[in-house]
Chains A and B, each alone.
Chain A
Amino acid sequence: METLERIITEHPFFAGLDCGFTNLMVSCAANVRFKAGAYILKEGDPANTFYLIREGKVAVEVLAPQHKPIIISTLSMGEILGWSWLLPPFQWKFHARAVDDVRAIGLDGKCLRTKCEENHDLGYEVLKRFAQIMEQRLEATRLQLLDVYAVK
Chain B
Amino acid sequence: MMIMATAITTDPMLPQPYSVREVAKETPDTFTLRLDPENAVNRSMFQPGEFSMLWLFGVGELPISISGDPSLHDRLVYTVRSVGQATHSLVNRGVGDGVGVRGPFGAGWPLEAARGRDVIVVAGGIGLAPLRPLIYQVLQNRKDYGRLVILYGGRSPRDLLYRKELATWARNRETQVLVTVDYGGLSWRGHVGVVTTLFKYSRLQPTRSVAMVCGPEIMMRFVTRELETQGLSRDDIYLSMERNMKCAVGFCGHCQYGPHFICKDGPVFRYEQIRNLLEKYEL
Which residues of A are at the interface with B, using a C-beta cutoff of 8 A? 57, 59, 68-74, 76-79, 99-100, 139-140, 143-144, 146-151
Are A147's CB and B189's CB within 8 A? no
In the complex, what distance in Å separates the CA atom of A79 from the CA atom of B159? 27
Closest 5 A/B residue pairs (Cβ): A149-B125, A149-B155, A148-B216, A143-B194, A74-B192
Query: What is the total of A-B residue contacts with beta carbons within 8 Å?
Result: 67
Q: A149-B155, A149-B159 are in contact. Are A70 and B183 (CB under 8 A)?
A: yes
B contact residues around A79 at 8 Å (CB): 200
A sample of 25 cross-chain residue pairs with beta-carbon separation below 8 angstroms, ordered by A number, consists of A70-B183, A71-B185, A71-B188, A73-B192, A73-B193, A73-B197, A74-B180, A74-B190, A74-B191, A74-B193, A99-B189, A100-B189, A139-B222, A140-B197, A143-B196, A143-B219, A143-B222, A144-B182, A147-B182, A148-B125, A149-B125, A149-B154, A149-B155, A149-B216, A149-B219
A150 to B29, CA, bound (A): 11
Cβ-neighbour of A148 out of B124, B184, B185 (below 8 A): B124
Q: Which residue of A lies closest to B127 (CB)?
A: A149
Q: Which of A57, A68, A147 is in CB contact (< 8 Å) with B185?
A: A68
Is B283 an interface position by the 8 A CB rule?
A: no
- Known contacts A149-B155, A151-B29, then 10 further A-B pairs from the complex at CB < 8 Å, ordered by chain A residue: A68-B185, A72-B192, A73-B193, A99-B189, A140-B194, A144-B193, A144-B194, A149-B124, A149-B159, A149-B216
Interface assignment of B40: CB less than 8 Å from any CB of chain A:
no
User: B201 contacts A146, CB within 8 Å?
Assistant: no
Residues of B whose CB lies within 8 Å of any CB of A are: 29, 81, 83, 124-125, 153-155, 159, 180, 182-186, 188-194, 196-197, 200-201, 215-216, 218-219, 222
Cβ 8 A contact of B201, one of A76, A139, A143, A147: A76
Question: B185 — which chain A residues lie within 8 A by C-beta?
Answer: 68, 71
Residues of A within 8 A of B215 (CB): 148-149
Nearest Cβ on chain A to B199's Cβ, whole angstroms: 11
Indicate if the CB atoms of A78 and B186 lie closer than 8 Å.
Answer: no
Find out whether the CB atom of A151 lies under 8 angstroms from the CB atom of B201: no
Q: Could you tell me the distance in whole angstroms from the C-beta of A37 to the nearest C-beta in chain B?
A: 10
A76 to B202, CA, bound (A): 12
Nearest CB of chain B from residue A124's CB, rounded to whole Å? 24
| CB-defined contacts of B183 to chain A, threshold 8 Å | 70-71
Q: List, in ascending order, chain B residues with CB within 8 A of A70's CB.
A: 183
**Closest approach, in angstroms, between the C-beta of A52 and any C-beta of chain B?**
14
Cα distance A71–B222 in the bound complex, in angstroms = 22
